[in-house]
Amino acid sequence: MIIAQQKSIQDIASMIEDCNKVLLVGCAGCVTVCLAGGEKETEVLAASLRIKRRLENKPLETVTFVATRQCDPEYIETLESYVKDVDAVISLACGVGVQYVAERFSDKWVVPALNTNFIGGSLNHGEWEERCGLCGDCVLHRTGGICPIIRCSKSILNGPCGGSQYGKCEISKDMDCAWQLIYDRMKALGKLDKLMEYQPPKDWSKSRDGGPRRAVREDVMID
């Protein structure tokens, strides 16, 4: 999932300081799971902003709504009746959701409440870690299911490097060396020979190259 974290209330408040009524839109997708922009977080932020503005003698009216997903135009449509009479929309979605809302309601001031951090998963309740570098050319079948692109600090494909000591990366004693993990896993699987196979240079043209990437499935497109 996409992992995001809320900006400071101060920062969000400064984006809407000239507004009297705002719509806060949460997202029931990834940011609900990572506890950054779900129903609860949306209502907590709304209450915090209302209290802050009352203290400043500039009361703020808030409306809250949680879209099923903000990265799908069909769910953005459900916002229409809420958006009409507000001065601004605060989106608690990832950067994608904010852009979809801003694109659909082009005459509205749309601001982000979250910083979108990375693609990752849960380690514990309340702790998440980056696990995918979105390189567009997955190599996990060659590395024992451990991603060297994002879990190696240098993203190298032929590690470990000289900075690996006792299974840890040189950047932090708390960070595992991804290539040590890969080696250990491949050894346990009896597939160390796979690491010796010749690999051509990775095709980075499928990564951040040539502007925004697009994926198409023609068979599911509706004419």
Partner 1 sequence: MRLQYASTVRIIEMPCTGTIDHRVLLKTFEDGADGVFVAGCMEGDCHFLKGNIRAKKRVNMVKNILEEIGFGGDRLDFFNLSAAQGQRFAEIVTEMTDRIRELGPTPLNQKEGDTA
- Residues contributing to the site for partner 1 (CB under 8 A): 8-10, 13, 40, 43-44, 47-52, 54-55, 57
Nearer to partner 1, 54 or 84 (CB): 54
Least separation, in Å, of the C-beta of 112 and partner 1? 18
Least separation, in Å, of the C-beta of 45 and partner 1? 9
Specify the amino acid at residue 128: W
3-state secondary structure of 165: strand
Least separation, in Å, of the C-beta of 40 and partner 1? 7
Nearer to partner 1, 50 or 168 (CB): 50
CB 169 within 8 A of CB 175: yes
Nearer to partner 1, 46 or 96 (CB): 46
CB-based burial label for 110 (10 Å; 0-12, 13-18, 19+):
buried
Q: How far apart are CA 66 and CA 82, in angstroms?
A: 11
* Segment 53-59 long-range contacts (CB within 8 Å, at least 24 positions apart): 53/13, 59/20
Least separation, in Å, of the C-beta of 46 and partner 1? 9
Q: How far apart are CA 56 and CA 37, in angstroms?
A: 25
Least separation, in Å, of the C-beta of 48 and partner 1? 5
Nearer to partner 1, 52 or 108 (CB): 52
Residue with tokens 């609860």: 40
